A and B are shown apart, each in its own frame.
Chain A
Amino acid sequence: MKTAFFTEWRTTLRQPSSFTFVILWTVVISLLFLLNRGLPQFDGYTNVLGTIINLLLYLLPLFMLIIGSLSITNELESGQWALLSTYPISTFRYVVGKFVGQLVAQIAVFSVSYGISMVLCTILQFPVSLKWMVLIYLFALFLISFFLGIGILIGTFASTRWQALMSSVVIWFIFIMMWASLLIAILQFVPYPLIANVLGITLFLNPAELVRVFFVVQFGGGAVFGQEFDTLVTFFKMTLSLPVLVIYTVLYLATVLTIAGWKLQRRKL
C-alpha cells in the first residue's frame, strides 16, 4: 500500500500535466473570485456564490473522475498491473494506496492554486470574505475526495483508457447535469407523501448534491430549500455536522474502494 501510495503521489506530481493544472485552477479560482468584484462583501448566500459553487461543481468532479479512472486504466493498459499481479499484494490495499496517493497529489495541486489565488485576490482587494474563502476551499476538498474515489471505481470497471474517459463523462453527466431531471422523472412513480423522503435519501447517493446542500447551508442559505427539508438544514447548521460529513465521506469512499478492490481482484483471476 505504501509503495503504491508514494509512487502514485510522486509520479502524478512529476508529470507536466500537474503544472498545467496548477495554472488552470489558479486562473479559474481567481476568475471566480473576480465575479464578486463591484459587489459589496456579503457573508450570506448570494447568486454569485451560487455561480461559484456551480462552476466548481462542473469542473472539479469531471477532472477528478477522469484523473481517477485513468490512473487505474493507465496501469492496466501499460501492463504494469499484470506485473503487479505476480506480487503477493492485496488489490484493496493497492487501490487504497493509489487513491490516497492521487488524493494527496490533487490536493497539493489545488492548494497551491487556491493559495496563490487567495493571495492575489487579497492584494488586488476583491471583496471576498475570509469565510467564503475557507468554505469554498473545504467544499472543493470534499468534491475532490468523493470524485477521485468514484473515478478509481470507474477505472477498475473500464477495460481501456478510452472507455474509462467515456464512462467518467457519462457519470459526470448523470451526477451533475441530469440529476434534477432524472429524479423528477423517476419520482413521478413514487407515491406523493414519500417524495420528500426519497429526495432526502437520494441526496446521500450523489455526493455532489450532498456537499452542495451542506455548504449552501453553511453559507447561510439553508432557507432556500424550503420547509420540507427543515430538519436536515437544522442538522447541517450544527457544528457536529462537519465531523458527521467527514465520517460519511470516509464510509462512502471505503465502500467505493472496496467495490473497486473486489472488481480488480476478479479481473486478476
Chain B
Amino acid sequence: MKLKAFLKLTILLGLLNLFPYYVPSVSAQGHLQTLIDETPEGGTVTLLDHTYEEEITISKPVTLIGSDHTVIRSCSNQPIIQVESDHVRLENIKIEHCEDPEPSISEPAIFVSGDNIHLEKLHVNSQSIGIQFDGVTNSVIEGGSITTNGTSNGIDVWESSQNRIQGVQIETVIDGIYLERSSDSEISENDIQFARYGIHLMYSDDVLIKENHSYQNFTGAMVMTSTNATITGNTFSENNLNVNSQGLFLFDAHQATVTENTLSENRIGINMISAEDNSLTQNGITSNFIGLQFNTTKDNLISDNSFNGNVNELQAVNSTENDVERNFWDSSIKLEKQSEGVSIFPYQAEPLYLLLTEDVPAYQLFFDSPSMTVIEALFKVPKETVMQDAYPLMQPPITHEEDGFQLLPTILKLVLGSCLTLIGIKLFTFRRKRI
C-alpha cells in the first residue's frame, strides 16, 4: 500500500516537473463565468454533469472540458460561448439555445474570433448559426454535431484561413458548412443532411473538401467564385429535393480538381456554370436524372469518369470547348479497336428524356421502357445541344469492390441453378407414366 502511494507521488511529482508552471484544474459548479475568470491562463476548467444556464465569454487561453451530460444553455440573444482569446480549447460540451418559437435569437451559439482554437466533440443545438468563425486562423472543429432551427448555417466561416473542419454531423441547416473569403482550409469527413447547400464555398481559394458525405440536401456542395478547390473522395447522394438540386455545383469555379467522388441519385450529378479550367476525373456518376450538365463553360477536362444508369448522361448549353474524352458511358455503343480500351464509336448524349420531361416531369416513368424505342424514332434531337465523347472507354475506370472470385455466391448460383433445372425436369416428368 505504502509502496503504491509512494509510486503515485513520484509519478505525480515527475509529471509536474515536466511543466514549467503549475496548471490548476478547477471543477466547475455554480457560476461558470466566474470560474473561468478565476482560472489562470492555460488552466483547465472541468465541467460537471450539470446544466449551466448562462452565456460565457472566454478572453484568455483556457481549456473547458465537459463530461457526458454537461449542457450550457441560454435564451438570450447573444452567443452562448464567445471566444475572444487565442489557444482556447472546448471539449465534450452540449450547447443549446432555448426553444424559440418567435425567432428572436440571431446571434450564433458559438462565436470565435481568436486563433489556434480547438473545438472538439461539441454538440450544438442552435436557434441561429451553430458555430461562427470570424478572422480565425489555425483552428480546428472536430467531431460532435450541429443542428439549427433550419434557417441558419451550421458552421459559418468568415475571412478565416488555415482551419480544419472534420467529422462533424450537421443537419437541418441552411448551409452545412459555409466558407466566405476563407482560403487554405480543409473540410473533411463531415456528414451533412437536410441543408440547402451541404458545403458552400464563396470567394475561398485552395480549399480541400475530402471524404464528406452530403445527402438529402438541395445541393450537396457548391463551389462559387473560388479557385483551386480540391474535391476528392466525397459522396454526394440523393440531393434531389428541389428542381434546382444537384450533387456538386461549380459556379464560376476555376482550376478545381474534382476526383474520385461518388455522385448518385441526385437531380444533376455535377452542374457547371461559367466554370473554367477545372478537371473532373475518376468520379462515379450513377443514377442521376442528369449526370453532368454544362452551361457556358470552357476548357474543362472531363476524363476517366464512369457514368452508370443516369436518365440523361450529359447535357450542354453553349459549352463546346470542353475536353470530354475517355469516359465510360454505360449507354454507349461499344466496339473496341485493337485492344486500346477505347470504343471506335464516339458517344453522343441524346437529350431525349430532357425534351420529353421538359413540360411533364412525370413522363420520366417511361425511362428505359421498351416502348421508348418507338418514341426515340419519332424524336428529332437538336444537334447544338449534343455533346460528344470522341473516345469512350470500353470499361469503367473505377473498379468496384465486388471484383474477383467469391466462393459463396458462386456455390449458391450453382446450387440454385441446378435446383431450378431439377424442379423443371421434375415438373416435366411428373405423372407422365400414368398416361
Partners in one complex: yes
- Residues from chain A with Cβ under 8 Å of B409 in the complex: 129-130
Known: A43-B402, A108-B427, A177-B371. A228 touches B362 (CB 8 A): yes
Starting from the known contacts A122-B417, A223-B288, 9 additional A-B residue pairs (CB-CB under 8 Å) come to: A39-B396, A42-B308, A47-B308, A117-B417, A122-B413, A125-B405, A180-B375, A224-B309, A226-B361
Q: Across the two chains, which residue of chain B brings its CB closest to A175?
A: B371
A58 contacts chain B at the CB level, 8 A cutoff = yes
A236 to chain B, nearest CB (A): 12
One of A49-57, A81-89, A90-98, A155-163 contacting the partner: A49-57
Known: A111-B420, A209-B369. A226 touches B357 (CB 8 A): yes
Question: Please, how many angstroms separate the alpha-carbon atoms of A105 and B430 in the complex?
Answer: 11
Of B371, B395, B430, the residue contacting A176 (CB under 8 A) is B371
Cross-chain contact A137 with B309 (CB below 8 angstroms): no
Cross-chain contact B370 with A221 (CB below 8 angstroms): no
Chain B interface residue number, banded: 35 or more
Question: Please, how many angstroms separate the alpha-carbon atoms of A46 and B294 in the complex?
Answer: 23
Cross-chain contact B425 with A41 (CB below 8 angstroms): no
Question: Please, how many angstroms separate the alpha-carbon atoms of A248 and B421 in the complex?
Answer: 28
- Residues from chain A with Cβ under 8 Å of B417 in the complex: 114-119, 122
Cross-chain contact A40 with B427 (CB below 8 angstroms): no
Q: Across the two chains, which residue of chain B brings its CB closest to A122?
A: B413
Of B372, B421, B432, the residue contacting A115 (CB under 8 A) is B421
Interface centre among A6, A104, A105, A226, by most B CB within 10 Å?
A: A226
Question: Please, how many angstroms separate the alpha-carbon atoms of A177 and B412 in the complex?
Answer: 36
A58 to chain B, nearest CB (A): 6
**Footprint of B on A, CB under 8 Å?**
6, 9-10, 13-14, 38-48, 50, 53-54, 57-58, 104-105, 107-119, 121-123, 125, 129-130, 133-134, 137, 176-181, 184, 187, 192, 195-196, 199, 203, 208-209, 212-213, 216, 220-221, 223-229
- Residues from chain B with Cβ under 8 Å of A48 in the complex: 330
Q: Across the two chains, which residue of chain A brings its CB closest to B414?
A: A122
- Residues from chain A with Cβ under 8 Å of B418 in the complex: 115, 119
- Residues from chain B with Cβ under 8 Å of A39 in the complex: 395-396
Question: Please, how many angstroms separate the alpha-carbon atoms of A162 and B289 in the complex?
Answer: 45
Cross-chain contact B431 with A212 (CB below 8 angstroms): no
Cross-chain contact B419 with A212 (CB below 8 angstroms): no
Cross-chain contact A46 with B309 (CB below 8 angstroms): yes
Cross-chain contact A224 with B370 (CB below 8 angstroms): no
Known: A40-B396, A180-B366, A196-B362. A112 touches B428 (CB 8 A): yes
- Residues from chain B with Cβ under 8 Å of A125 in the complex: 405
Cross-chain contact A38 with B362 (CB below 8 angstroms): no
Cross-chain contact B367 with A224 (CB below 8 angstroms): yes
Known: A57-B370, A116-B417. A187 touches B360 (CB 8 A): yes
B261 contacts chain A at the CB level, 8 A cutoff = no
B331 contacts chain A at the CB level, 8 A cutoff = yes
Known: A46-B308, A108-B424, A112-B425. A226 touches B369 (CB 8 A): no
Interface centre among A6, A180, A220, by most B CB within 10 Å?
A: A180
Cross-chain contact B364 with A225 (CB below 8 angstroms): yes
B416 contacts chain A at the CB level, 8 A cutoff = yes
Cross-chain contact B412 with A130 (CB below 8 angstroms): yes
Q: Across the two chains, which residue of chain B brings its CB closest to A22?
A: B424
